[in-house]
Chain A
Amino acid sequence: MYSKSLPYMLLLPATLFLCIFFIYPFTLVAWQAFTTDTGEFTSSFFQEMASHWKFNTALINTLLLALAVVPFQMALAIYMATLVNGMKRGRDAVLYIWTIPLGISDLAAGLIWLAIFEQSGFLNSFLHTLGVVEQPVGFLGYENKGIIFLAIVLAEIWRATSIVLVILVAGMGLIPKEYAEAAEVFGASRWQRFTRVTLPMLKPSLQTAMILRVILAFEVFAVVVALGGTNLPVLMSEVFTWQYELRDAHVAAAYALVILAISIAFTLLIMWALRVPKGARV
């Protein structure tokens, strides 16, 4: 009897924690997005959100950022993971160095890149020393939305590739060597071994990494604010603005639900796209 209930007992603390600190606040937020202060049901907060002149820009910017960052990040992480896995010596040292950004907060990462790109920053000093520019260039001015976007993409790739890398390195370690050896015996090239053996076997890890990254990409905030200020609104920065500057918790909650909806939609999409058939599981 005891052994049957043991797993549930072990899961109970974490479940309780999530119920109290996630599910309960979440229901409050959802409630806030749909009801007025007097408790009437309304969709006016969603209307107010959607009719605000920044909403479309914020939505498009968020999606574009995710689109620019995540695929490149996945490819880069897969490449780095294969390199790490192929190493005979120094594997750990390289892995440690590559995962340094994991320990840096996103705001700090944003500030590091700000120190590079700002008008009195490293890049300007460097270009000035080389004689490429006469005067410091304002890379992050409001007219250069493209450069701001690029700087954010760079900072995000630098900052968050390591989490994907860690998951993939662990995933590759789980793939039995026999498969690769068998493929080699049958004369598969390195590229074929990678595409026909490693990648399919890596699907579960890829799925985990993708879901994690995509969700975090929709919540991008600190890096954007550090580098772009209010020049490049994203969904999360709008949540912050509505909550703390415009002091309208209802519209902020509506924004939060939009982010949640997008995250859930993409999670389902990734789960479906990278599903592993029952019979093919290791």
Chain B
Amino acid sequence: MKPVKTLLSLTLATGLSAAAMGAANAEVLFWSTQANPPEEQQIMREKVLADFEGGADFAPSEGGPWLTRIQAELQAGEGKIGVLGSLHGDLIELSDGLVDLSELDTSSMNKTFLELGKLGTDEQKYIPWMQATYIMAANKKALEFLPEGADINALSYDQLIAWSKTMAEETGSPKFGFPAGPKGLKHRFFQGYMYPSYTNSMVTKFRSAEAELAWNKFKELWSYTNRSSTNFSFMQEQLLTDEVWVVFDHTARLADAFNQRPDDFIAFPAPAGPTGRGFMPVVVGMAVPNSAPDMEAAKNLISYMSQPEVQIETLRATNFFPVVDVELPDDMPASVKAAGAAVAAMSGSADANPGLLPVGLGDLGGKFNAVYVDAFERIVLAGQDVREVLDDQADSLRKIMEEAGAPCWAPDAPSEGACPVD
């Protein structure tokens, strides 16, 4: 009797696991660089993707491995990945391997982002998934030190410096915090905030006199910045420990602070410089690779993710804002309410000067960022001469632009061929 029983249970077990395997194979593999922190993954799986018919297997990863795997699948011409979710800049690198998604209904989507999703072709290479940007946040304790007559929703860089100086002097230690850690997004501040605000450019005027002024201003701000900033990557942590009172960071990296202590913090727009209020909108898109095992299911998943109610669930999961017209419900987390208002004030300000994420750099995106990070490390941390460093880094930047052959993007004026570096 016993052997028969064992045999039976074995058969059952293998049968069951085979069935489970089959189900897992039928799911659409959603390969994403976004929603990678464990708690965000959980909400993505349990809430956002729960109602998708046929099921989706949400697999987030770091940028490097993400790119390596999809490139390998595209090269092989077949793979497991059904839907890609990543930043505009990542998807550009894969442009040739992406299917045209024009057939999907995109009537309620943000037109600017849809246009970006064509990646300069006449096909809809990706469908916008969500958006975010970088803003400022402050502990309410910092407000009493604001310079005379300053409006928190329309600050200038000079006022920010004055404010940081007062705080440092009055409280005995620097209270401005900057995400200069290894995983911090400092390069986005220089590219999308400092450069557009001081030079009305991101690339062309990299080594201009205006840029020199900008870096010197930043050095001044740095002297009233918390010295451990080079270890900070998610400024919400330092806001919550009260190590710093005023910070710049990505909305998604400030969310915890607002959600845990909504009454203690405020969000406000980035400051303005001589050439406007530079800011960087971040667009995340969804795409289908040529190598997808089931095109139909992949497209269905993208349509599903574009529905207003799913977009709201996604916002709850990731703190990235919807790209379709939706009415935000009243029970949204505090972080969304706070950041939403600041983002609106920033993008709607009279002197708004958007600087897009780099476009058309292929896999030179990392080296492009390194130009700005190296400039920061050399000028601000190592104290090297501003002019010499800018000249030196401009050479690297020129080489990158020429190698990529990337034309200019906002705020730089459109160029014929590679974006020039004066």
Contact = CB atoms under 8 A, between A and B. Distances in A.
Interface of A: 53, 118-120, 135-136, 138, 140-143, 225, 229-231, 243-248
B241 A120 contact: yes
Nearest to B362: A247
A141 B230 contact: yes
B351 interface: no
B369 A229 contact: no
B329 interface: no
B182 A230 contact: yes
Contacts of A229: 181-182, 230-231
A118 B381 CA distance: 19
19 contacts: A53-B374, A53-B378, A118-B228, A120-B241, A138-B226, A138-B228, A140-B228, A142-B227, A225-B182, A229-B231, A230-B230, A231-B230, A243-B64, A244-B62, A244-B63, A245-B366, A245-B370, A246-B366, A246-B370
B264 interface: no
Contacts of A243: 64
7 closest A-B pairs (Cβ-Cβ)? Answer: A244-B64, A138-B228, A141-B227, A229-B182, A142-B230, A247-B363, A246-B366
B308 interface: no
A77 B312 CA distance: 58
Interface in B228-285: 228, 230-231, 241, 243
Interface string B292-318: 000000000000000000000000000
Q: Is the interface of A mostly helix, strand, loop or mixed?
A: loop
Contacts of B67: 247
Given A120-B241, A120-B243, A135-B172, A247 B64 contact: yes
A138 B25 CA distance: 50
Interface in B196-239: 226-228, 230-231
Interface residues of B, number: 26
Interface string B15-44: 000000000000000000000000000000
Given A141-B230, A230-B181, A245-B369, 18 more contacts: A118-B228, A118-B231, A120-B241, A120-B243, A141-B228, A142-B230, A225-B182, A229-B181, A229-B230, A230-B377, A244-B62, A244-B63, A244-B64, A245-B366, A246-B366, A247-B64, A247-B67, A247-B364
B367 interface: yes
Contacts of A143: 227
A248 B367 contact: yes
Contacts of A135: 172-173
A246 B370 CA distance: 7
Contacts of A247: 64, 67, 363-367
Interface string B136-173: 00000000000000000000000000000000000011
A119 B243 contact: yes
A188 B185 CA distance: 65
A136 B238 CA distance: 13
Given A135-B172, A225-B182, A229-B182, A246 B227 contact: no
A244 B367 CA distance: 10
A112 to B, nearest CB: 16
Contacts of B241: 120
A95 B75 CA distance: 52
Contacts of B63: 244
A119 B173 contact: no
A136 B227 CA distance: 12
A243 B65 CA distance: 10
Nearest to A229: B182
Contacts of A138: 226-228
A246 B367 contact: yes
Nearest to B184: A229
B227 to A, nearest CB: 4
Contacts of B182: 225, 229-230
